[in-house]
Amino acid sequence: MPATPSALEIWQCQNCGNEIAVHCHVALNLSAPAGRELFTGTVTIDSEKDALKLLLKLKHALSFAERFEPFKLEAQHREGRLIWDLGLFLDFEVERAEAACIRAGARATFRSGDQPRHEVLVDRQLPDGRWVVTNAGRLDVPVGAVFELAVVERSRKEPDGTFRIVESAEPVLLRSELASVDILHHPLPHIPGGYSGAITLIGADEERLRALVAQRLDGWSIKLSTR
């Protein structure tokens, strides 16, 4: 858990009475204070060539936020991502963070912390119109989730077994709702984490997804995201 500095405190020596300025450090608490709500910020990068400039601007512009961790933003930039997770923001910080992102030239969205982002990898479309997808995450993706982005990426397997994104195309905006899930001929109310299945999508933007799959090159993956 990273440490974050608290306010400067003045300590007084019990022996001599001298006062000493002490800068204390406390462990970062990611839970929301009582009566407050947490929001998750996401920013979409228009092109990789603008990413470094935007990174520097956002590190400065969002430094006011209590839970903002710039090193995580730097890591996402090094991975070549075009969609960055900005981390957690308290409810009273969101308006200022939105304005800061706009001034920096970034397209950002903030959603309530109780609404996690879901992602699935798209394999192919079946003759009956359903899509074969894989939920590589740990969270179940519920029926009714609305996918708003299609992310096209190329990854490389590292010696330690992990995958690193080496190239990304510009995210495609779309809006398709997860209407049904079928795994091994059993209907389910969600896509379980770590499982593949056939899903039905509802939305006019399904045609965009069909075009992306048709044009996909070897080694590239297509990921649907709820942002």
- Across 9-18, 78-87, 209-218, the highest mean pLDDT is recorded for 209-218
Q: What are the tens digits of pLDDT across the range 40-64?
A: 888 877 777 788 999 999 999 999 9
At residue 6 the predicted structure's pLDDT band, cuts being 50, 70 and 90, is very low
**CA gap 44, 42 in Å, rounded:** 7
Higher pLDDT, 68 or 9: 68
What pTM did the predictor assign? Answer: 0.51
- Angle 51-61/70-78 helices, nearest 10 degrees? 170
Give the other-Cβ count within 10 Å of 148's Cβ: 18
Q: What are the tens digits of pLDDT across the range 22-43?
A: 545 444 444 555 556 888 888 8
At residue 204 the predicted structure's pLDDT band, cuts being 50, 70 and 90, is low
Q: Look at residue 1 and tell me whether its pLDDT is greater than 70.
A: no
Q: What are the tens digits of pLDDT across the range 70-80?
A: 888 888 888 77
- Domains contained in the chain, CATH given: 33-112 (3.30.70), 119-225 (2.40.30)
Distances (CA, A) of 56 to 52, 61, 63, 97: 6, 9, 11, 15
Q: What is the pLDDT of residue 27?
A: 42
